[in-house]
Amino acid sequence: MVASACLTLALGSGLVWCRRREARAHALFALMAAATALVAACELWLMRAETTGELGVALRWLHLPVWMVIVSLVGFVRLHLRAGRLWLGWVVNNSRFLVLPERQCYPNLASRVLALALKRLSADWQEHWGHPVLFVESYADESKYPGTSYRARGVLKRWA
């Protein structure tokens, strides 16, 4: 159901883009809708997996359409709504790839990235809105990551 609705939206926006090539926001929306349909297909694949190996393959393939949705959504917001800063789009698109499986090879990478992002966020917010950032919210899946970079930055845990 979701996949068919997404493919219908993708077809409509794709046709608009084919007729008006300068309307790149329609191309990005079509890509986002088609990628969302692929996410639904991967989720169906996950539900029907019979072995852990098949589940792992489906989960790895799920990352591609999710990345496509994120990239096209950021591009659509930037082009169609004329909103957001270009550097922030790069941060959003690359944040999925910052925590690498080989994190022992890159000590303190997450702490460094978190520190740089918070420093830049506060400066840009102050410049654009005229007042500092008072609160930043984030999370770490404690079943997978101990949250060391958050503790290193002095981030408080507010929930149990």
- 24 and 49: one domain? yes
pLDDT, greater one: 54 or 91: 54
Specify the range with the lowest mean pLDDT, choosing from 24-38, 42-56, 121-135: 121-135
- 136 and 57: one domain? no
The predicted structure's pLDDT at residue 53: 83
Which stretches does DSSP call E strand in the chain?
Answer: none
- 102 and 27: one domain? no
The predicted structure's pLDDT at residue 160: 45
- 8 and 61: one domain? yes
- 89 and 64: one domain? yes
Asked whether the beta carbons of 33 and 24 are under 8 A apart, the reply is: no
DSSP 8-state class, residue 156: P
- 11 and 89: one domain? yes
Q: How many domains does the chain have?
A: 2
The predicted structure's pLDDT at residue 104: 61
- 109 and 136: one domain? yes
- 66 and 111: one domain? no
- 125 and 49: one domain? no
- 112 and 142: one domain? yes
- 88 and 127: one domain? no
- Assign 9 a pLDDT band (cuts: 50, 70, 90): very high
- 2 and 63: one domain? yes
Specify the range with the lowest mean pLDDT, choosing from 53-62, 121-130, 137-146: 137-146
Q: What is the pLDDT of residues 95-105, one digit of tens each?
A: 555 444 555 66
> Residue 124, CB half-sphere, CA atoms under 13 Å: how many?
11
Q: What is the pLDDT of residues 43-83, one digit of tens each?
A: 999 899 888 888 888 887 888 888 888 888 888 888 888 87
Q: Which domain holds residue 83?
A: 1-97
The predicted structure's pLDDT at residue 20: 93
Instruction: Give the integer Cα–Cα distance in Å for 101 and 115.
Output: 21
Instruction: Give the integer Cα–Cα distance in Å for 12 and 27.
Output: 10
